[in-house]
A and B are shown apart, each in its own frame.
Chain A
Amino acid sequence: PALAGDKLGLGREALPEEIAAWDVDVLPDGRGLPEGRGDVFTGEEVFAAACASCHGDFAEGVDNWPVLAGGFDTLDDKDPVKTVGSYWPYLSTVWDYVHRSMPFGAAQTLSADETYAIVAYILYSNDLVDDDFELSHENFAEFTMYNADGFIIDDRAETEYAIWSGEPCMTNCKDSAEITMRASVLDVTPDVEEDSASD
């Protein structure tokens, strides 16, 4: 659809300082990265202080907190392990997300250099770089993630919609219907009785 046409003259121009403060996203090609650098050893220290209490000393995850490392070649398993190393397609996303939204509960407290260092350490934890690796705005674009080619654009329109369209069966659609699985066997539903004890 075309745009509405006349402007109403509402709002005011955003200042460069304001845009710089809020527009911190990083694109897959590296645009948006600030200058800076950090190596694996520095990253290990920062990670230990800021991240390891949830994600583990080796990015392996504590309790139910996300696992950041490992799980390579499990994506077609019965239970895939989707980590930064095994699953994420772009390094830009790691930098962007850590810088903007981590640590959980104290986001936006990491400097650019600290973020480079943490990302370098996460790559090391995934055995994707050696322990003397330094990540910077200059070599960022050279790095290709393990699962970079693992994604396809939504193809439901081609693969699914045609076969699930048209007049559906109304009678004698199958010979029988037998129960093959019951939720009560798993017994994982919260006890609704306790929930509504106030009544």
Chain B
Amino acid sequence: MDDALKAPSRRAFLKGTAAVAAGSVAGAAAAGTPDPLITEVQDWASATGAGVDETPYGLPIRFEADVVRRNVEWLTASPISSINFTPIHALDGTITPQGCAFERHHSGAIELAKEDYRLMINGLVDTPLVFTYEDLERFPRENHVYFCECAANTGMEWAGAQLNGVQFTHGMIHNMEYTGVPLRALLNEAGLDAAGDLSDKWVYVEGADASSNGRSIPMEKALDDVLVAFKANGEALRMEHGYPVRLVVPGWEGNMWVKWLRRIEVTDMAVESREETSKYTDVLEDGTARKWTWVMDAKSVITSPSPQSPITHGPGPMVISGLAWSGHGKITRVDVSKDGGITWETARLGKQGDTKALTRFYLDTEWDGSDMLLQARAMDETGYVQPTKAQLREQRGENSVYHNNCIQTWHIKPNGEAENVEVS
């Protein structure tokens, strides 16, 4: 009972043991014992599989049941205003499957039909407007891939190593290809002449849900790359991700990606709503707090091996795999350390980084079976280098709650298990 935490790693370890055992069988086959999976005709090679009429919209095969969202009950008072986590320990590449992409609601995931959807633009515009969903699909569209990272991602780790799994420490993130209309096109339709000098203007955006999640965005960003999106990864947004319309605010904290978007108001000052005063402000060591910390800085994490994804194959060739991203632009390089940051090797990017999007990295290496202290360190196109937790604490103390982009350490043990640790 007192070592409930050990359960995942023990189970993973047992699975690992089984895998090693299977490996021995294969080894035995090499030594002269034929593998029955090859020498005996298997059912799937003889009988038939499922028909094309069986699954109009499919879910993953049952063997992948581990690849699901998870929540941590003690984090919040109610599951209605709460968070769950993307299983990034088990994913690869960069695109997050929508069905297991994390959720963060403040008054639950609401059901809003396209027919019932209305979007209002008002405030300092020439003509306040109401759009239907159908109207939005008649504007010229764009496609972009961006990460959405909750401002609180890794927030539980400020004061120490807490949660034992990359899903929990870094899984408040997803990365999708969005289809939508630039916000500037909608503002143009309402007209901004009445707003005068745009450099001191804001847009206040809010959702249709009870929490409303209202946030203020400076006009410069609103006219730059903000998208009013209605498709993600090729299909309509999921209900829990804002169906039928959400805001996409590239590189900026996830809270500002207002879901079920219902209203955009041009204002002459920030509204200073609850979500940008009480929440999403970052307390520093002296008790003052930063506000308007919009950008998510460069960050990375090794997703495998990690506590939920231990090494099961024993010593020899292995792949260290992870994710890197930056709200300031493209990831240009990721370094990996196996000794807790004493020495570093530059990893290989799965493909060139997209701006403000997840980038996959790999280090193809050999494991000699001894302890490792694995770390990854991202660099972005501005030259920024992901800091250590000690460096962050030196600047901010331990009570910022949000914006923890520290270097993560996994302790890999000789049996292949991994643990979330801090190192000196």
CB within 8 Å of B: which residues of A?
A: 1-5, 7-8, 10-14, 18-19, 22-23, 25-29, 63-66, 75-76, 78-80, 82, 84, 87-90, 92-93, 96-97, 100-101, 104-105, 107-108, 150-156, 159-161, 164-166, 168-184, 186-196, 198-199
Q: A13-B129, A19-B122, A107-B211 are in contact. List 5 more A-B contacts (CB 8 A).
A: A78-B399, A105-B107, A152-B288, A166-B383, A181-B421
- Whether the Cβ atoms of B135 and A10 lie closer than 8 Å is yes
Instruction: Name A's interface SS.
Output: loop
A186 to B159, CA, bound (A): 12
- Whether the Cβ atoms of A199 and B66 lie closer than 8 Å is yes
Q: Which residues in A have their C-beta under 8 angstroms from that of B190?
A: 11
B236 at the interface (CB under 8 A from A): no
- Whether the Cβ atoms of A107 and B107 lie closer than 8 Å is yes
Known: A97-B274, A191-B7. A8 touches B66 (CB 8 A): no
The number of chain B residues with a CB under 8 A from chain A is 115
Q: Which residues in A have their C-beta under 8 angstroms from that of B340?
A: 177-178
User: Can you report 24 residue pairs joining A to B where beta carbons are below 8 Å apart?
Assistant: A1-B184, A1-B223, A10-B135, A12-B129, A13-B129, A14-B121, A66-B77, A75-B289, A80-B283, A87-B278, A92-B272, A108-B210, A151-B277, A164-B391, A170-B344, A174-B342, A177-B340, A177-B373, A177-B424, A181-B421, A182-B421, A189-B8, A190-B72, A191-B7
B352 at the interface (CB under 8 A from A): no
B325 at the interface (CB under 8 A from A): no
Using CB atoms, name the residue of chain B closest to A94: B274
Known: A19-B128, A177-B424. A8 touches B161 (CB 8 A): no
B286 at the interface (CB under 8 A from A): yes
Known: A169-B344, A170-B335, A177-B340. A154 touches B385 (CB 8 A): no
Of A14, A96, A164, the contact of B385 (CB 8 Å cutoff): A164
- Whether the Cβ atoms of A187 and B4 lie closer than 8 Å is yes
Q: Which residues in A have their C-beta under 8 angstroms from that of B295?
A: 154, 156
A25 to B264, CA, bound (A): 12
Of B11, B106, B265, B289, the contact of A192 (CB 8 Å cutoff): B11
Using CB atoms, name the residue of chain A closest to B278: A88
A58 to B184, CA, bound (A): 46
A142 to B241, CA, bound (A): 41
